[in-house]
Amino acid sequence: MISLGCPVCQAPLATAEDGRQLRCEAGHSFDRARQGYWNLLLPQRKKSKDPGDNSEMIQARRRFLDAGFYWLIAERLTQILLEELKNTPQPELLDLGCGEGYYTTQIEEAFSTAGLNAAIAGLDISRHAIKAACRRSENIDWLVGTGADLPILPGSLDAMTLMFSRVMPEPMARALKPGGLLLVIWPGPEHLIELRELIYDEVRKREFNPEADLVPLFEPVRTESLEFQFEVDGGEALSDLLLMTPHGHRIRQETRDRILAHTSLECSADIRFGLYRRA
């Protein structure tokens, strides 16, 4: 297990009661959920009753990812991590904003296959996401928590991945070891351009880049691009793609119907992989 910190008092958390409870020296305790995850999100840290992605979005993303449309992203992600961490003994890695755990599971499987012993955890604020993630793998520590206040022992992580999720520089830096690796993955300007052209009258091609937010807590190492084409059949796959992207949430019913009338859609993927080291 990765090194956890008590969400109340930040002291180290240790497993007790036959692995069914986490407890700190001050006596704060957290029970393991029936599905196997740990709920480390304090009620007062929730901004809503049911924060994060809802069940419908999670199921849509799961079906879409399981259909393999983004396996090239998973492949490149795991190649980078194995290359960067192959000489680190028993690395501790957190996938922050892990969603329903598709990529986290690919990471765990890649490390196992390579014979590398790593402690891997996935954290998300959505309990729907983490419940779904529990069904993917028992070799990963699944955590409900917030990236704004990570329940991780400060300076303990060797690596963190942040995929299509919000950058929170201070808590991310606090959880990593000095020199620890941060891999941020975000959509480039051409990502899903065909879909966005169907949704918006004018498509904005603004390039997001987390570097300005990350420096000086992190030192940039390099950025890579991955571009590929994929074809989505009309019907469920296209509807799932709409549901899992932020674009799909903003559209009117008539636009949605018009898009879903397509029998298939050729899509561009344009993905950026940014590597940083904690300064």
Residues tagged in the binding site annotation for Zn(2+) = 6, 9, 24, 28
Nearest to 119 by CA among 153, 159, 151, 148: 159
Q: Where are the beta strands (DSSP E) in 188-239?
A: 218-233
Within 8 A by CB and 6+ apart from 95, the residues are 101, 103, 104, 107, 120, 121, 122, 123, 160, 161, 163
Q: Does 243 bind ligand SAM (CB under 6 A)?
A: no
For residue 133, the minimal CB distance to Zn ion (Å) is 25
Shortest spacing between CB 192 and ligand SAM, in angstroms: 13
Binding at 8: pick from Zn ion, ligand SAM, none (beta carbon under 5-8 Å per type): Zn ion
State the Cα–Cα distance between residues 197 and 271, nearest whole angstrom: 18
Contact between 213 and 161 (Cβ < 8 Å): no
Q: Which is nearer to ligand SAM, 41 or 119 (CB)?
A: 41
Helix (H) or strand (E) holding 85: helix 71-85
Contacting Zn ion within 12-51 (CB under 5 A) = 24, 26, 28
Q: Segment 168-197, which members bind ligand SAM (CB under 6 A)?
A: none
Total residue count of the chain as it appears in this document: 279
DSSP annotation string for 91-107: -EEEEET-TTSHHHHHH
What is the residue type of 185?
A: I
Find the shortest distance in angstroms from Cβ 30 to Zn ion: 9
Using an 8 Å Cβ cutoff, are 225 and 271 in contact?
yes
Give which of 147, 206, 211 is closest to 174, Cα–Cα: 147
Shortest Cβ 160–ligand SAM spacing (Å)? 12
Among the residue ranges 18-26, 77-85, 140-148, 232-240, the one whose residues contact ligand SAM (CB under 6 A)? 140-148
CA distance 41 to 20: 17
- Minimum distance from residue 10 beta carbon to Zn ion (Å): 7
Question: In the window 97-126, what residues touch ligand SAM (CB under 6 A)?
Answer: 97-99, 102-103, 124-126
What does 61 interact with, of Zn ion, ligand SAM, none (CB < 5 to 8 A by kind)? ligand SAM
From 163, 199, 242, 259, residue interacting with ligand SAM (rule: CB under 6 A) = 163
Q: Which of residues 15-74 bind ligand SAM (CB under 6 A)?
A: 52-53, 61
Residues in contact with ligand SAM, counted by CB under 6 A, come to a total of 19
Q: Hey, what are 129's tokens?
A: 């996401």
Q: Which is nearer to Zn ion, 9 or 148 (CB)?
A: 9
Question: In the set 164, 186, 273, 276, which binds ligand SAM (CB under 6 A)?
Answer: 164
The number of residues that bind Zn ion (CB under 5 A) is: 7
Out of 2, 4, 6, 195, point to the residue binding Zn ion (CB under 5 A): 6
Number of C-beta neighbours around residue 179 at 10 A:
10
Judged by the rule CB under 6 A, the positions of this chain that interact with ligand SAM are 52-53, 61, 97-99, 102-103, 124-126, 129, 146-148, 163-166
